[in-house]
Amino acid sequence: METVLEIHLPNLLDNFQAIKSKISPQTKVLAVVKAVAYGSSVPAITKCLELAGVDYFAVAYVSEGVALRKAGIKTPILVLHPQIGNLEKAIQYDLEPSLYSFRILTAFSNIVQQNSIGKYPVHLKFNTGLNRLGFSEKELEKLKKSFYQKDLKLVSIFSHLAATEDPKEKEFTKKQLEIFARISSHFDATPIRHVLNTSGILNYPEAQFDMVRTGIGLYGFGNDLKFDKELKPVVSLKTVISQIHTLNKGESLGYNRAFVADKKTKIGTLPIGHADGIGRQYGNGNGSVYIQSKPAKIIGNVCMDMIMVDITAIDCEEGDEVLIFAEDVQTADSFAKQANTISYEILTALSERIKRKLIVKP
C-alpha cells in the first residue's frame, strides 16, 4: 500500500442530485472544477458530471480550461479569471472568458476582431461587494455602450457573494443581491444570471436566478453542519505506516528536535508530508490521523515527505492502513479545523504526486 486519494464518484453524483433538489427544475447548474477539481481529478470529476447533465463548468484560469478540453469535455466552460496573455488560447480551445474590467474587455474584443470571429460568447462579472474582480454598478452605462460596440455574444452576467455561509452577514448578502438584481434589470435581452455559490444555494434559494454555481458542495461540504449531513465527502486520503520506532524518555524526534519524549513512546512514520499538502501548521500535537479506528496525534515538525504520529496506545504494525480523512472517521473539514484552516485549503493543496484511485461503485 502507498499514500492514495480515493475519489468516490457515487458520492459526487449523490451530492449533485442533493444540490439540484434545492433549486427549481429549470435552474441551470454550473460546476466549479478549478484547482484540479478541488484537489481530486479533473478527468474523473468532469466526465462524471458531464454524463450527469451539468450545464456549465467553471475554472479559474485558461490553462485549467485547456486541460478539460484535452480530457474530452464538450460542455461549455467559463474561465473566471483569464489573463490577457492567454486570451488567444481561450479562443483556440473554445473557452468562454469572464470579462471583469475595461482592460480585459478591450483586449479580448481586439483579439476577436483580429481573428474575424463573430459573436464570441463571453460573460460579464460585476462587483457587488466582494471587491476582488468585476465592473462596478456605477460603470454600468459606460460598459453597456462599450460592450455593444464589440462583436461579442453576452452569455451571462454574474457576481460573487462574500458571506453566504455567515448568518451574521445576512444584511450584507441581501444588499449584494439587491445590487445584482438592479444590474440585471439593465439588460434587455436577458442573459443567464447567476450569483449563488454552494452556501448561497442552501441559504438563499430565492436568489437562484437562472443558474447557480457549486464547488465545495459537489465535493461534500456545505459550510454548515446541518447541510453537511445532506452531502457526502467525495475524497478519502489514506496512507500507511512505513516504520515504527520506540523513543525512550528524553529522546527527540525529527527536525529541530521539536518533540522530546517525556516517557517511553511508540512512533509511527507515515509517507506523506508538507510537499503533499499536510502543512507545517500540523504537527506538535496539532491534528490527528486514524489507525485501527483510533486517533493518533501528529507529533514533531511535519517534514517534506513524512509525518510522525504517536501510536503508543494503538495496537498496530508496519504496513497498517492510516486514514487521514475519510467519510467514516474524520472529514477533510474536521481535519482542517484541527489546524485552524478550512477544507478548501486542505483539498486544493493535495499534491499531484499522491496516487488517485477512482471508486465507481457505492
- The residues annotated as belonging to the active site are 34, 255
Residue 71 φ then ψ, to 5° = -80, 0
Q: Is 9 within 8 Å of 41 (Cβ atoms)?
A: no
CB atoms within 10 A of CB 28: 17
Q: Contact 228/219 with Cβ under 8 angstroms?
A: no
Sign of CA dihedral 309, 351, 237, 327: positive
Q: Which phi and psi (to 5°) does residue 279 adopt?
A: -65, 170
Residue type, 32: V
The C-alpha cell of 189 is what?
435581452
Q: How many residues does the chain have?
A: 362
Provide CB contacts within 8 A for 347, sequence distance 6+: 38, 39, 40, 219, 235, 332
DSSP E strand boundaries for the chain: 4-8, 28-32, 56-59, 77-79, 96-99, 120-125, 152-158, 192-194, 211-214, 235-240, 243-247, 252-253, 259-260, 265-270, 288-291, 294-299, 307-310, 321-325, 355-359
Question: Checking DSSP bridges between strand 235-240 and strand 192-194, what pairing results, if any?
Answer: unpaired
Pick the closest to residue 172 from 129, 117, 124, 226 (CA basis): 129
The β-bridge partners of 126 are 135
C-alpha dist (Å) from residue 88 to 35, 95, 111, 257, 258: 22, 10, 7, 52, 51
Contact (CB, 8 A) for 274 and 309:
no
Residue with cell string 479533473: 42
